[in-house]
Amino acid sequence: MNRKIACLTLDVEADFLDPHGRIRLFEDEALFKRYIDILRARRVKLTAFLVTSLIERYAARYRRLQERLPLEFAVHSHAHDLENPCSRADIEASIVAFRNFAGQRPAGYRAPLGQITPQGMEALLDFGFRYDSSLYPSFRPGKLGYNNLHLPCTPFRIRRGAQSIIEVPFAALRGARLVFSLSYVKVFGWPAYRFLLSLFPLPAQIAVLSHPYDHYFHLLADGVRAWEKPFLQRNAHTAFTLLEKMLDFLIEQGYEFESMSGLCDALEADALPEWELAQAIRK
């Protein structure tokens, strides 16, 4: 498929290391309004992956966001437990909480920090999820790292027998395998990305990652002592402007904005590459 489609995704989880589980984007009216204005001005369709244990607290705000934007909800785990990120019990709990909120089963899933496991993928297939978007087609060392250099940067199917699920990897520059997300653009800066994008274009169909706290980490940084702080803090005060630059670049490059389900609808007509589950998820 030659059609260029970009899905802006928001992992709706608690602000980075917030001890109270707060999401300032849904509590601060100025932040909330600025975010909506940026997306509405560009007619962006948003897919929000919800940590479903937070739904009860923020359900009214989620519905308010849905009233103002073309918005699809999906699942980003129930507990966002990095020690056991996508257990069958957690996925089951997320389905129940999501159905109580949305009145239907979720179509899509994303594991915390992209930590999808073979057992987690088995559960997604068992429960009939249509798509997953958990895999970084890149490399990151460490306990919560990954090595998915064997996988494509473009959407593909993960198959188990007669069943399959569409996998939409996180957006990454072809060849360079550098992730194209708001947090990464903040770290390296837009001029560097703009240059690299001229050498290593994005795939035609992409899922662009962002988090609420990406847009205002400078307001949280005094309470954060983690090693990631300098990376998250870099360019944080200009994050909304960087988001605008990213979206405007995609528009200039001819991308249409779609929800993740809208992208899957477009992909259904294509014979996507297929990977057996054991080959795709190596853990």
Read off the pLDDT of residues 202-257 as tens digits, 9 standing for 90 and up: 999 999 999 999 999 999 988 788 888 999 999 999 999 999 999 999 999 999 99
Sorted by sequence, the CB contacts under 8 Å of residue 275 that are 6+ apart come out as 151, 156, 157, 158, 159, 167
Q: What is the mean pLDDT of residues 82-87?
A: 93
Beta strands at 108-109 and 131-132: parallel, antiparallel or unpaired:
parallel
What pairs with residue 159 in β-bridges?
164, 276
Average the pLDDT over each of 104-113, 140-149, 190-199, 254-263 and give the range with the smallest value.
140-149
pLDDT digits (tens, 9 = 90+) for 146-178: 999 999 999 999 999 999 999 999 999 999 999
With vertex at residue 210, the alpha carbon angle to CA 212 and CA 49, rounded to the nearest 5 degrees, is 80
Residue 271: per-residue pLDDT: 86
pTM (2 decimals)? 0.97
pLDDT digits (tens, 9 = 90+) for 32-80: 999 999 999 999 999 999 999 999 999 999 999 999 999 999 999 999 9
CA neighbor of 133 nearest in space, from 165, 102, 97: 165
CA neighbor of 135 nearest in space, from 124, 2, 18: 124
Residue 225: per-residue pLDDT: 83
Sorted by sequence, the CB contacts under 8 Å of residue 57 that are 6+ apart come out as 21
Q: Are 48 and 37 in contact (CB under 8 A)?
A: no
Residue 170: per-residue pLDDT: 98
Mean pLDDT of the chain: 96
Cα 146 to Cα 113: distance, rounded to the nearest angstrom: 10
